[in-house]
Structure 1
Amino acid sequence: MSARLLVCLIVCVGESTGSGGAVTQIAPGDDVSLSCPSSTGQDRWEGPQSSNTMRVNLNRTEYLLIKNFQVQNKGEYVCHNNHTKFELKDASSNDESVLFRTSEGDSLFLFCKNLLSTPLRAAWFWRPHHSDKTLTLGLNSTHFGKRLHFRNKDNDFSLNISSINWGDSGRYECQRSSQHKTFFELVVVRVHADPQQLTEGDDVTLQCNVSHHLPNTRLYWINMETQENFPNPHQLRRVTMGQGTWTCAVFNDSKLKALFPLTLNINQHLTTTTRSTPAPHYDNMGPGLPPKDFTLISVCTVFSFLLLVLIGAVCWRKKAKKRMESFTSVNDSITYAAVNVRQKSETPAVAFAEFSSISNSGLVEENEIIYSSVKLG
């Protein structure tokens, strides 16, 4: 009988531990991480894949982080010679969890449940990190407003906080009785870049801030392209398009506690191939007068001057023409008389006297003949 009992115990232990790996129970909503060091740094954790699983490789160690553990994360995880199996907790125990959440849209699930069939009552308390006063949490809590959601069904008193704020940091307690208490330490993290808008070649500072500093907590920045790590804060000089993906890693001693990604908004630097020509130099420009304005003013001035000269020349020509016409009409007789005198001057003096006497006597006929001869000539 004792031999059969011994065989049964061996089989049961083998089934519970799987292929040599330990079985760990994780409460829903908690975070859990695994590390696998290797000489080459190429070993990776194999196991259930989910959207709430993240990986980083740091100092030849593969870190696997499961944030907000759920039923889909149950299973066996293997990396090289490391084996572990995760199961989901059915009930709360008197333990304490440290959770890191970001104020950029994260939510928080605090598990508090008993499996007893007898109905129980529970109360939630919160002591902010910036205060020594403990507050009782309820549906009418002023600080949280409508962000608190209690289950309160079948001895399940779990609490969900939506849209985590910076001021939610603190110590939460679910008290089911004087002997049964579960504690949660919430630290809020904020990651940002200064400046937020970047152009290729600019300098930027990566900042990872925590609402409360716990003992032995360290912060690092990891370049997700090269897997290089830098202390927080990290100043990045002459940023390039290939340096846009970063992650803030939170460690407690050597254990990874949280990962917060940050994507830099980098605009590509625009370059032109057009050959630039030096701007002309103007020695006589007025103070503060740009070269383009000076050239425009000069062209306008020359054009206006030429236009005025042209208009003046046209006007002067018209006036000169009118004066010539009036002068010609008035002096017709004088001009003809002068011509007649020149023609008669070739005759003897007696003829000149005869011409004078004839013209004085008003002989129009002679004048008309002379006029006609002059005009024809």
Structure 2
Amino acid sequence: MYFTILILMFLSGFCYSSQLVYLPRQAVKTKDEVSPGSDVCLRCDVSLLSEFSTLQWTKEGKPTSNTTLIYNNSAYIILHTADEHNTGEYYCRLNKDGKIQTITNHTLTVKTHSYNGNVKTNKSIYRESSSKRDVSLICKTNNNNYDSWRWTWEKRPNSQIDLITVKKGGKVEVKGPIKPGRFSSTTYNSQAFTFHISPVLYNYSGTYRCITETTIYTTTILHTIRVSVEPPGGVLRSQSVLLTCELSEVTESVTLVWLRMERKRGVLEKQNRITEKNNKLQLRVNLSSFKTEPLHWQCAVFTENQLRALAPVILNFTSEITNAPTISTKIITVSNQRSTDNVTATNQDTEDSGLKMVIIVFCAVTVSVLILLSLLVFKCLKNTVDVDTGSGFKSQDDDDNIHYASVTVAASNQGADRCHASSEVLDNNAGVIYSAIKVQ
């Protein structure tokens, strides 16, 4: 009896624990209020993320278009340069075995102004140095009593210079070395004064301030990140590669991390914690003789377990035959050349044979024409000689009959004696030819 009760209690406890495993837990709710132009990082964590499970941030049911990173069983998104459009509800959901569970529910509110009483809003933002990156420095106010505004830049302490200035109702005057981008405010409308930087260069790091006549309205500290690959461009698969991630400056504790991206997840390769006392503001990783497909890497910047920026690198490995001319490549080239030469020689021989045939036919025709012309000339000359010698008879071989011929010759001298001569010739062929010559 007691044994049966123990079994029932055990089975009841097992079923209850199983229900606890599959029942979705209550989502963690958080709230955040930031000033315009801030970078907002959202993070949600799970105890264990299997290979076929996914974590996804959404805004009010729709996937976000911002940067998402899954690393160490956590999902991160970064909202760069937040404004009123980023205000709303954000959900981090776990998709496991077709079941969706909400892990975090975050409410984000973006203020309508950059200054709140005597509290200065200092923002620290991170950007990759790239021609495709930009940053907008936003200065908003609800007070219309200010007549002039300006954005200043301080690259180093005590080196503050004016970048752009404007007076109420006027146009912006550009004064500094950093030219405003196309999304910068061209006039001040007593509501917002924006300074847009595009592209972001590595030496643009520093402290930017929005200042009224006498008040520092907002301060933004820009940190720039630079990644590089040695050797640059495509590399051979058997060649070592050096990846470098460099930070312009630090004003807080920062952790640089090199992540090897496998699908959408980051796998730790190397990391380095950087403080203001640590002058080594870079992290390098040496990749030697990779035989895999092209790899996707990212340099991640963390501050207090919050993702602040990502700088991607895609390595394109190429084959040795394509990039470096080898012996086999040269042999293939020579063989192809020889084949081409053989085809060319064959075509040339065919053309030469045809040309020879044409020449032979032309020569034969020419010789035939010359022979015919020679015969005609010879015949004409013969006829001319016969006429000059007074022989106007046909050959006896042509006809055995009697032929008669009569020729009258005019004498050159008038009054010459007229004479009459006749002769008879008897040929052996029994032909008789009579000729009479009269001279006048």
TM bucket, shorter chain: 0.5 to 0.7
Q: Which amino acid aligns with 2:222?
A: L
Q: CA 1:215 to 1:25, structure 2 compared with 1: closer, same or farther past 3 Å?
A: closer
Q: CA 1:50 to 1:28, structure 2 compared with 1: closer, same or farther past 3 Å?
A: farther
Of 24, 40, 47, 2:32 maps to: 24
Of 206, 209, 212, 1:170 maps to: 206
In the alignment, structure 1 residue 104 sits paired with structure 2 residue 120: no
Q: CA 1:91 to 1:142, structure 2 compared with 1: closer, same or farther past 3 Å?
A: closer
Q: Which residue of 1 aligns with 2:368?
A: none
Tell me, yes or no, if the aligned pair for 2:241 and 2:287 is still in contact at 8 Å: yes
Tell me, yes or no, if the aligned pair for 1:98 and 1:185 is still in contact at 8 Å: yes
Q: Which residue of 2 aligns with 1:367?
A: none
Q: What's the secondary structure of 1:167's corresponding residue?
A: helix
Distance in 1 between the 2:293 and 2:47 partners? 28
Tell me, yes or no, if the aligned pair for 1:36 and 1:43 is still in contact at 8 Å: no
Distance in 2 between the 1:165 and 1:145 partners? 12
CA root-mean-square deviation: 2.8
Of 173, 183, 193, 1:157 maps to: 193
Distance in 2 between the 1:36 and 1:190 partners? 28
Q: What's the secondary structure of 2:312's corresponding residue?
A: strand
Q: Which residue of 1 aligns with 2:113?
A: 91
Distance in 2 between the 1:256 and 1:268 partners? 36
Q: Which amino acid aligns with 1:246?
A: W
Tell me, yes or no, if the aligned pair for 1:124 and 1:137 is still in contact at 8 Å: yes
Distance in 2 between the 1:261 and 1:156 partners? 33
Distance in 2 between the 1:126 and 1:117 partners? 24
Q: CA 1:172 to 1:142, structure 2 compared with 1: closer, same or farther past 3 Å?
A: closer
Q: What's the secondary structure of 1:223's corresponding residue?
A: strand
For structure 2, the 5+ residue unaligned runs are 1-26, 93-101, 165-172, 272-282, 323-327, 329-440
Superposed, 1:1-377 pairs within 5 Å as 21-41=29-49, 42=53, 44-48=55-59, 49-51=63-65, 53-70=66-83, 72-79=85-92, 80-93=102-115, 94-105=120-131, 106-118=133-145, 120-129=147-156, 132-138=158-164, 139-145=173-179, 147=181, 149-150=184-185, 151-176=187-212, 178-179=214-215, 181-196=217-232, 197-225=234-262, 227-229=266-268, 230-231=270-271, 232-270=283-321
Tell me, yes or no, if the aligned pair for 2:180 and 2:197 is still in contact at 8 Å: no
Per the TM alignment, residue 137 of structure 1 is displaced from its structure 2 partner at its CA by: 2.0
Q: CA 1:199 to 1:20, structure 2 compared with 1: closer, same or farther past 3 Å?
A: closer
Tell me, yes or no, if the aligned pair for 2:89 and 2:106 is still in contact at 8 Å: yes
Q: CA 1:125 to 1:119, structure 2 compared with 1: closer, same or farther past 3 Å?
A: closer
Q: What's the secondary structure of 1:112's corresponding residue?
A: strand
Tell me, yes or no, if the aligned pair for 2:68 and 2:75 is still in contact at 8 Å: yes
Per the TM alignment, residue 20 of structure 1 is displaced from its structure 2 partner at its CA by: 7.6
Q: What's the secondary structure of 1:122's corresponding residue?
A: strand
Q: Which amino acid aligns with 1:24?
A: D
Q: What's the secondary structure of 1:242's corresponding residue?
A: coil
Tell me, yes or no, if the aligned pair for 1:166 and 1:188 is still in contact at 8 Å: yes
User: Percent of aligned positions with the same letter in both sequences?
Assistant: 23
Q: Which residue of 1 aligns with 2:425?
A: none
Distance in 1 between the 2:174 and 2:221 partners? 22
Q: What's the secondary structure of 2:55's corresponding residue?
A: coil
Distance in 1 between the 2:33 and 2:291 partners? 44
Q: CA 1:203 to 1:71, structure 2 compared with 1: closer, same or farther past 3 Å?
A: farther
**TM-score normalised by the chain length of structure 1:** 0.60
Distance in 1 between the 2:294 and 2:47 partners? 27
Per the TM alignment, residue 116 of structure 1 is displaced from its structure 2 partner at its CA by: 2.7
Tell me, yes or no, if the aligned pair for 2:121 and 2:219 is still in contact at 8 Å: yes
Per the TM alignment, residue 119 of structure 1 is displaced from its structure 2 partner at its CA by: 5.0
Distance in 2 between the 1:137 and 1:116 partners? 23
Tell me, yes or no, if the aligned pair for 1:28 and 1:69 is still in contact at 8 Å: yes
Tell me, yes or no, if the aligned pair for 2:254 and 2:301 is still in contact at 8 Å: yes
CA displacement 1:105-139 (0-9 Å, x = unmatched): 2111111011234454322221103x531112223
Q: Which residue of 1 aligns with 2:277?
A: none
Q: What's the secondary structure of 2:251's corresponding residue?
A: coil
Distance in 1 between the 2:315 and 2:104 partners? 36
Q: Which amino acid aligns with 1:62?
A: A
Q: Which amino acid aligns with 2:261?
A: M
Distance in 1 between the 2:238 and 2:267 partners? 20
Number of aligned positions between the proteins: 254
Q: What's the secondary structure of 2:193's corresponding residue?
A: coil
Distance in 1 between the 2:257 and 2:310 partners? 10
Per the TM alignment, residue 147 of structure 1 is displaced from its structure 2 partner at its CA by: 4.6
Per the TM alignment, residue 96 of structure 1 is displaced from its structure 2 partner at its CA by: 0.9
Tell me, yes or no, if the aligned pair for 1:50 and 1:72 is still in contact at 8 Å: no
Distance in 1 between the 2:179 and 2:151 partners? 15
Tell me, yes or no, if the aligned pair for 2:153 and 2:162 is still in contact at 8 Å: yes
For structure 1, the 5+ residue unaligned runs are 1-18, 277-377
Q: What's the secondary structure of 2:57's corresponding residue?
A: coil
Distance in 1 between the 2:136 and 2:178 partners? 15
